[in-house]
Amino acid sequence: MPPEDSVRALVERIRAGARVSVLTGAGVSAASGIPTFRGPGGLWRDFRPEELATPEAFARDPLLVWEWYAWRRRLVAAAAPNRAHDVLAAWSRRYRGFALVTQNVDGLHERAGTAGVIRVHGSLWDLACRDRCAAAPARWREEAIELPELPPRCPHCGGLARPGVVWFGEALDPEVLAAADSAADCDVFLAIGTSAVVYPAAALLAQAAAHGALTAEINPEETPASASVDHYLSGRAEEVLDRLERGLTTAAFRV
Ligand code: NAD
């Protein structure tokens, strides 16, 4: 369990009306049965995610990459949000100025009831035209769990469609990045369940600190960010967020 003085410090700030921003990574969905890339279960047919989630992998073998995404879509469709998603959804309704930036592509924050999620890496449920044909929107939603055809086609030009996610080596959408930058202007910034090595996780933490925010990290493993945050709360997202939520909602909890 995380140190009680860290829990108290965060509860005190949030209760005093702090603007809270949260950055989440794959660890938040681990308790829902969605494997993280680097943790147990992250491999698919002996491929590492880094070998599949790239434009080069898609150019080489679009069917293989699509089979991996089809598997992930099925896995996520069968999963449910966990306590971590639920606590953050409650905060989004309760605290003015709350912002949630996620690297996750699974949509579980939205399914838990968080509105306005800033998705820096796109969504498993979006598709895009590989050739960015003029007729197609930048992305479109396809929520049918089983796609009618693999690899799917762009309905506008008939060319290949690709997953509407950001792959390793690709640039982030500037508008989404601007929204994430704005979220870093806050009073309390929490990085939860991210290894903090994939851009922009580390950058957002540093920006939040530069804005004078109290920074904290929730992760059962130390990361490159752990030493520099104000509070490192060692533990699983679903347990530590439950502890914080009890502190925030229990009148008897002394801060
Ligand atoms: P990562 O796989 O690199 O790291 C996950 C982190 O979660 C690790 O630091 C691990 O210690 C921590 N963790 C594991 N279980 C946890 C728990 N119960 N509570 C809290 N933390 C826990 O993931 P990442 O840094 O998010 O990113 C890599 C990229 O992978 C991201 O861009 C993301 O798009 C993608 N990804 C997304 C999903 C998803 O949408 N669910 C799943 C896997 C990877």
Tell me how far the alpha carbon of residue 159 lies from the centroid of ligand 1, in angstroms.
Answer: 32
Which amino acid makes up residue 26? A
Q: Residue 60 has what pLDDT?
A: 97
Digit-coded pLDDT (tens) for 114-131: 999 999 999 999 999 999
Q: Residue 199 has what pLDDT?
A: 79
Catalytic site residue from 85, 121, 156, 231: 121
What predicted TM-score, i.e. pTM, was given to this entire model?
0.95
b/e burial code for range 97-107 (CB count within 10 A of at least 16 → b): ebbbbbbbbbb
pLDDT at 254 over 70: no
In this structure, the residues whose C-beta lies within 6 A of any atom of ligand 1 are 25-27, 29-31, 34, 36-39, 103-106, 121, 193-195, 198, 218-221, 223, 236-237
Angle (deg, nearest 10), helices 237-249 and 4-15: 50
Our answer to whether residue 156 is catalytic in this structure is no
DSSP character at residue 189 = E
Digit-coded pLDDT (tens) for 166-191: 999 999 999 999 999 999 999 999 99
Q: Best mutation site among 24, 29, 34, 36 for ligand 1, i.e. most ligand atoms within 8 A of its Cβ?
A: 36
Give bridge partners of residue 63 from the DSSP assignment: none
CA distance 60 to 141: 25
- In the block, which residue shows the tokens 């494997």? 35
Cα–Cα nearest to 7, from 231, 188, 227 = 231
CB 188, CB 10: distance < 8 Å: yes
Helix (H) or strand (E) holding 200: none
> For the residues 20-40, what does the mean pLDDT come to?
94
1 versus 239: the higher-pLDDT residue is 239
197 versus 76: the higher-pLDDT residue is 76
Q: Residue 202 has what pLDDT?
A: 83
